[in-house]
Amino acid sequence: MIGIVVFPGSNCEFDVESAFRELGEVSKFVSHRERELGDYKAIIIPGGFSYGDYLRSGAIARFSPIMDAVSRYADNGGKVVGICNGFQVLTEAGLLPGALQRNAGLKFVCGEVKVRVGTTRSALTNLMAEGEEFSLPINHFEGNYTADRATLEDLEEHHQVVLRYVQNPNGSANDIAGITNREGNVVGLMPHPERAGLGFGLPGYARRMLGSVVAIDSVSAVKSAH
């Protein structure tokens, strides 16, 4: 069972549910009001406009009751993947380093963008090949990843860049489209793998990407697989 956290303003929860259903995985929606998480294979924080993106995207959602449970779940090695607004929530919550600021040029970007797998040592890429390239949908206003120089160096040194844009659509530092924490169990990315194929069936790379989330049981397995 996959847990999908839903905030007021989330709007990609059904896309995530249907993508995992295509992989044979059942999901349950988890309200932002909950204080405990049950036994899930993984927790997904989906895209959308939680709390209307007021203040900063993800800045209010991170104070929801459920987020303490998500932090504990991650601390215990549970797999947590934040997609788009979910990535923003994870950085605001301090589960991932850095921040997502407004796109360069202050433009909302919507379309497909080519990305490259940076590391396979993560809950989202363990079935992928390093250097593999494919296109994924993007749809955001605040996807411009930023961090101080030491954090960026640290991310590169420890191979925590999960996905990089081949052509940077938003001004992200180091062309970063997605990162993982040091342990590999918490991942955030701006593109939407669950929307790949636009409802006509997930392409193979998207199946392997979302399949990675359920392919292994624990963080130690992420580590030992590589």
Q: Which residues are catalytic?
A: 84, 192, 194
With CB atoms as reference, the residue minimizing the distance to ligand GLN is 47
Q: How far is Cα 208 from Cα 147, in angstroms, rounded to an integer? A: 29
Q: Give the shortest CB-116-to-ligand GLN separation in angstroms.
A: 21
Q: Which stretch binds ligand GLN (CB under 6 A): 136-144, 154-162, 163-171, 213-221?
A: 136-144
Residue choice 18, 104, 116, 141 for contact with ligand GLN (CB under 6 A): 141
Report which secondary-structure segment, H or E, holds 208: helix 204-215
Q: Does 145 contact ligand GLN by CB under 6 A?
A: no
Find tokens 């215990």 and name the residue: 76
Find tokens 């939680």 and name the residue: 50
Q: Give the shortest CB-148-to-ligand GLN separation in angstroms.
A: 21
Nearest to 103 by CA among 163, 173, 51: 173
Q: Does 194 contact ligand GLN by CB under 6 A?
A: no
- Here the tokens at position 184 are 């590999």
Backbone angles phi, psi at 174, to 5 degrees: 55, 25
Q: How far is Cα 19 from Cα 206, in angstroms, rounded to an integer? A: 9
62 vs 121 by CB, closer to ligand GLN: 62
Q: How far is Cα 116 from Cα 114, in angstroms, rounded to an integer? A: 7
Q: Give the shortest CB-219-to-ligand GLN separation in angstroms.
A: 26
Q: Give the shortest CB-150-to-ligand GLN separation in angstroms.
A: 25
Q: How far is Cα 15 from Cα 21, in angstroms, rounded to an integer? A: 10
Q: Which stretch binds ligand GLN (CB under 6 A): 61-69, 140-148, 203-211, 218-226?
A: 140-148
Q: Does 169 contact ligand GLN by CB under 6 A?
A: no
Q: Give the shortest CB-100-to-ligand GLN separation in angstroms.
A: 7
Q: Does 48 contact ligand GLN by CB under 6 A?
A: yes
Residues 17, 142, 104, 131: is their CA dihedral positive or negative?
negative
Binders in 68-97 for ligand GLN, by CB under 6 A: 84-85
Q: Does 185 contact ligand GLN by CB under 6 A?
A: no
Q: How far is Cα 47 from Cα 88, in angstroms, rounded to an integer? A: 9
Backbone angles phi, psi at 191, to 5 degrees: -65, 165
Binding site for ligand GLN (CB under 6 A): 47-49, 53, 57, 84-85, 139-143
